């Protein structure tokens, strides 16, 4: 008898850890609903075993989730999450130093999910998430819409949409492993049609939507960095030139305020990383403006671009930290700066 393919599904959060909470929804409930629907969908296919890290509302540490998968000898690890931070759309992650097989699986699964969900494509990304780092098999983490965006939350409240999120994941896994449907198994989920229609517009970053004249806050950011004599185009487009200029401003201010002795080269290297400071509520000045600029470019609203680390900037830092699975303390420390600049 041929060895069965082992598929491990990890519904994010659970128990005392609700995950992101907004619009009357809890991430832990949505991830479990998607995971259960995905398991049911996959059971239509031959030659597989499917296991969930949790099948009810219980807490599991990140280490426990991957331990279960590793000890079982899973062939793939799929961790399901719902995003937060005010953006919209779908994205996937593999580990920063992912294997070629993980990347290949990500490419297939990402595309199949997008075909079914038909939402904004935020791209295929890499991150140093614990469940990706400690899994011994190809591992992918999916972020399925934004719980704190009203239009996304409305979709997530619809069981029909949840069934299609599950189907998208399932179709990706089926394609990766070349699975064959069992004789007599249904070919579609119980829902009769998807809630949303595919959109031709795809974005691979979380940058704010731009008007014909570009994003107006980005134009203000570009004018700000040009006060340092960098002379970049004020076009409202937050491209590599703008990011490099912001790093140069950061380096300039670290030298000016803290005597770091950095080369002003716009490269976020080890020396600049080591020179970073903790920036927290109550701070004001140009370092806070750099922080607000980076948050805005990443799609998190820090409030006015005014250099004041107030309540809105704190909330944006917390949302960013939560979305990137960092310690949620509202303080821009080295990890948060690194995630914003990386």
Q: Is 46 marked active-site?
A: no
Helix (H, G, I), strand (E, B) or coil at 90: strand
User: What is the sign of the dihedral through the CA atoms of 145, 147, 153 and 157?
Assistant: positive
Closest CA to 86 of 322, 334, 340: 322
Q: Rounded to an integer, what distance in angstroms lies between the CA atom of residue 176 and that of residue 104? A: 9
CA distance 262 to 274: 10
Q: Which residue has the tokens 């393919």?
A: 5
Q: Write the CB contacts of 253 (distance below 8 Å, at least 6 apart in sequence).
A: 285, 286, 287, 290
Considering the candidates 91, 112, 143, 171, report the single residue annotated as catalytic: 143
**Do residues 22 and 85 lie in contact, with contact meaning Cβ atoms separated by under 8 Å?**
no
CB 96 within 8 A of CB 126: yes
Q: Which two tokens mark 155?
A: 């979709």
Q: Which two tokens stand for residue 270?
A: 């080890």
The token pair at 63 is 């280490």
As annotated, the active-site residues are: 143
């Amino acid at each position: 008898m041929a060895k069965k393919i082992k598929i491990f599904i990890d519904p994010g959060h659970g128990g005392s850890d609700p995950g992101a909470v907004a619009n009357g929804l809890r991430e832990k409930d949505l991830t479990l609903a998607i995971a259960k629907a995905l398991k049911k969908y996959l059971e239509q296919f031959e030659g597989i075993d499917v296991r969930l890290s949790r099948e009810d509302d219980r807490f599991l540490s990140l280490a426990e989730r991957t331990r279960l998968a590793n000890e079982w000898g899973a062939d793939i690890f799929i961790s399901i999450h719902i995003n937060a931070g005010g953006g919209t759309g779908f994205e996937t992650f593999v580990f920063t130093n992912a294997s070629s097989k993980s990347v290949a699986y990500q490419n297939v699964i990402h595309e199949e999910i997008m075909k079914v969900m038909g939402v904004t494509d935020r791209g295929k990304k890499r991150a140093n998430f614990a469940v990706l780092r400690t899994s011994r098999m190809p591992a992918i983490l999916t972020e399925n819409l934004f719980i704190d965006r009203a239009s996304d939350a409305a979709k997530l409240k619809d069981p029909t949409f949840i069934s299609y999120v599950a189907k998208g994941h399932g179709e990706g896994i089926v394609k990766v492993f070349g699975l064959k449907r069992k004789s007599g198994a249904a070919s579609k989920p119980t829902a009769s049609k998807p809630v949303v229609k595919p959109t031709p517009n795809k974005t691979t970053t979380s940058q704010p939507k731009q008007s014909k004249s570009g994003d107006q806050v980005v134009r203000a950011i570009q004018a700000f960095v040009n006060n340092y004599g960098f002379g970049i185009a004020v076009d409202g487009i937050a491209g590599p030139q703008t990011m490099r200029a912001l790093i140069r401003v950061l380096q300039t201010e670290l030298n000016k305020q803290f005597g770091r002795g950095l080369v002003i080269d716009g490269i976020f290297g080890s020396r600049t990383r080591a020179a970073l400071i903790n920036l927290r509520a109550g701070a004001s000045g140009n370092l806070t403006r750099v922080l607000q600029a980076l948050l805005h470019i990443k799609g998190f609203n820090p409030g006015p671009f005014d250099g004041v680390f107030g309540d809105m900037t704190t909330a944006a830092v917390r949302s960013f930290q939560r979305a990137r699975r960092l310690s949620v303390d509202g303080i821009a420390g080295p990890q948060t700066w690194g995630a914003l600049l990386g």
